[in-house]
Structure 1
Amino acid sequence: MGKNKSKGSLPHREAYLRMNFLHQASNFMTSECSQVPEARELSRHYNSVMKTVARRLVLRLDCSIKRGICKACHTSLATGDCSSVRVQGKRRTHVVVTCKTCGAIRRYRATLEKASDRPVST
């Protein structure tokens, strides 16, 4: 009655492929901002479309991708070029990322690696 599902099948595979392409294209356009004047706007559009696809199909983006995109203006937050990063706090340290395009501030809690989690070098 239902569809045959194999173990290797991924639901919404085409959507994930499309979002992957849009993310890579956005990062490429961000790196080309100095040479092509319209590259920044194109990068913002690609990020906006990627987030729209994920929202429509109720798909989760990886946290590294979400943290690399400004929530306010959809700019790719390339360190140094489009954003500034600093560590702040005494008791609880935070990583503060400021978007240079719109001035939006995002704060993430910084966690230290435990000694047991680190790989042992021999």
Structure 2
Amino acid sequence: MAKSRKKNKAIARSIAQERIGYLFSLAKSEFSEKPEMSKRYVALARKIGMRHRVSIPSELKRSFCKNCGSLLLPGKNSRVRLNDGTIIITCLDCGSIKRYPFDKEKKD
């Protein structure tokens, strides 16, 4: 019985990862017409990830605001700046700021 339960959990997690990716693609496509639906898709993806204990991939994790839950598209509702080895992303809906380090290219 334990093996089948583990197998079911593994299947549920793989399905959850697929759905998270699909919901983020829907959120990106719907953003221009209906930003509120886009926000709802992001919220659903986060809820699925929490329920099945699946982490959202890092490239998707950086694409939404953790404060207000809106999808961040540079130039539309977010500002991206580079400052001393740091990427600064500002959400223009709620004003929250996220900072990510990056390596500068080394000059020879």
TM-score range, shorter chain: 0.7 to 0.9
**Alignment TM-score, normalising by the size of structure 2:** 0.83
Letter in 1 for 2:55: R
Q: Which has the higher contact order (CA 8 A, sep 6+)?
A: 2
Specify the alignment match of 2:94 in structure 1: 102
Max radius of gyration: which structure? 1
**Alignment TM-score, normalising by the size of structure 1:** 0.74
* Percent sequence identity over aligned pairs: 27
Measure, in 2, the Cα distance between the counterparts of 1:82 and 1:59: 27
Letter in 2 for 1:16: Q
Gaps of 5+ in 2: none
User: Structure 2 matches for 1:42-57, cutoff 5 A?
Assistant: 42-57=37-52
Match of 1:86 among 81, 85, 90: 81
Aligned residues: 102
Which stretch shows the higher mean deviation, 53-62 or 105-114? 105-114
CA contact (8 A) 2:20 2:56 kept: no
Distance verdict in 2 for CA 1:114–1:14, change over 3 Å: farther
Gaps of 5+ in 1: 116-122
Deviation of 1:112 after TM superposition, in Å, equals 3.4
Q: CA RMSD in A?
A: 2.2
Specify the alignment match of 1:120 in structure 2: none
Which stretch shows the higher mean deviation, 10-19 or 80-89? 10-19
Measure, in 1, the Cα distance between the counterparts of 2:62 and 2:100: 9
Question: Runs in 1 of length 4+ with deviation above 6 angstroms?
Answer: none
Structure that is richer in helix per residue: 2
Specify the alignment match of 2:18 in structure 1: 17
Letter in 2 for 1:24: S
Specify the alignment match of 2:54 in structure 1: 59
Deviation of 1:80 after TM superposition, in Å, equals 0.6
User: Structure 2 matches for 1:33-48, cutoff 5 A?
Assistant: 36=33, 39-48=34-43
